[in-house]
Amino acid sequence: MSKPAHPHSAPIIHEPLDIRERGAAINDVPQRSDKRLYIQLQVFTGCEDIQSIKDALIKHDIEGVVYLDTNDPYGVGIATFAEDPSWFVKQGRAFYQDEAFLTLAHKPEFTMFGRTYAIGHEPNLDEALLQRPRRYAFNADWPWVVWYPLRRKPEFALVERAEQGKILFEHAKIGMRYGNEGYAGDIRLACYGIDANDNEFVLGLAGPELYPLSRLVQDMRKTQQTAKYIDSLGPFFVGHVYWRSPSKVSV
What share of the chain has pLDDT > 70, as a percent? 95
Tell me the torsion sign for CA atoms 160, 161, 164, 165: negative
Number of domains in the chain: 1
pLDDT for 5: 57
CA distance 111 to 91: 18
The CATH number of the domain holding residue 96 is 3.30.70.1030
| pLDDT the model gives residue 6 | 60
Question: Can you tell me the mean pLDDT for 57-69?
Answer: 97
Residue 8: Cβ-neighbour burial (10 angstroms; 0-12, 13-18, 19+)? exposed
Residue 113 within any structural domain of the chain = yes
Q: Is residue 28 part of a domain?
A: no
8 part of a folded domain: no
Task: Let me know if residue 18 belongs to a domain.
Answer: no
Query: Is the residue at 2 inside a domain?
Result: no
d(CA 99, CA 89): 18
The predicted-structure confidence for 22-32, as pLDDT tens digits, reads as follows 999 998 898 99
Tell me, yes or no, whether 46 lies in a domain.
yes
pTM of this structure: 0.91
User: Does residue 138 sit within a domain?
Assistant: yes
pLDDT value at 4 more than 90: no
Q: Which residue has the higher pLDDT, 68 or 1?
A: 68
Long-range contacts of 166-174 (CB under 8 A, 24+ apart): 167/223, 167/224, 167/225, 167/229, 168/225, 170/223, 170/224, 170/225, 171/220, 171/223, 171/224, 171/225, 171/226, 174/216, 174/219, 174/220, 174/223
Closest CA relative to residue 136, chosen from 187, 181, 180, 66? 187
What is the domain range of residue 175? 35-244
Looking at the domain assignment, is residue 198 inside a domain?
A: yes
Q: What angle do CA 208, 214, 219 make, to 5 degrees?
A: 120
Indicate the DSSP class of residue 156: G
Average pLDDT of the chain to the nearest whole number:
93
